[in-house]
Amino acid sequence: MLLVIDVGNTNTVIGVYDGKHLIKDWRIRTERRTTEDEFHVLATGLFAEGNIGSKDIGKIIISCVVPPMVTILDSFCRKYLGPRPHWVDAGSFPNIPIRCKNPSEIGADRIVNAVAAFDKYRTSLVIIDFGTATTFDAISEAGEYLGGAISPGIMIASEALFMKASKLPRVEIFVPPENVIGKDTASSIKAGIIFGYAGLVDGMVKRMQAEMGTNAKVIATGGLAGLMQQVSETIEAVEPALTLEGLRIISNNL
């Protein structure tokens, strides 16, 4: 079996594949201060819940944007699982040429998303990942990674608003508001955050499509992708397991 791990700044997503079949996946908090032994205790519980034995893991691939987690997870894999993990970088999948000034600067998660998205759609793409940051990645019709854009994530932007404006209440932003024009403070905040972010997304997509010169297909992934699809005019599909699938594809080519 294949163990795939995507380490983000806020959450870590873990999946186990048997061939092309994703048997089980989990989303946990990224804990920078954990140890390989603590991670083992957590992973053992997750594996047990999925009826997966540690000895069943024959291959491991990891994408990580949190440097302190590299040593922790590398030690965990070697000590408790056996196989040495493969760490995704700009050279992990030559079939996706990276047309950037410094390919090594591109986050591993963005490379993995590009691999999975182009493998499925085989056309020009704009990939939006709603994570700690919101990233926009442009893929050409030939499968080249052209570059992209990074903006503050929805939760980061919201938290900054709540911290800096002491009289504004915290609001839940997991369901779209009924109206753009709020009738009280809470609904006004909710409308501003959600519809305002939809405007950011649609504006960025249209500018990227114009610069690419194609009507690129727009797909989204990440925790709030489903919410944003409901209010965006440009998001055409949501791919919840995009990053895990990209890791599986890269692993098959190692």
Residues recognised as catalytic: 109
d(CA 246, CA 119): 9
Q: For 1, what's the count of Cα atoms within 13 Å in the CB-facing half-sphere? A: 20
DSSP-derived secondary structure letter, 28: E
Q: How far is Cα 188 from Cα 85, in angstroms, rounded to an integer?
A: 47
Handedness of CA 34, 37, 42, 43 (dihedral sign): positive
How far apart are the C-alpha atoms of 55 and 238, rounded to whole Å?
Answer: 34
* Separation of CA 64 from chain center: 11
Q: Is 65:108 a contact under the CB 8 Å cutoff? A: yes
Residue type, 238: V
Cα dist from 66 to 21, 23, 42, 72, 201, whole Å: 27, 26, 19, 11, 25
d(CA 161, CA 155): 10
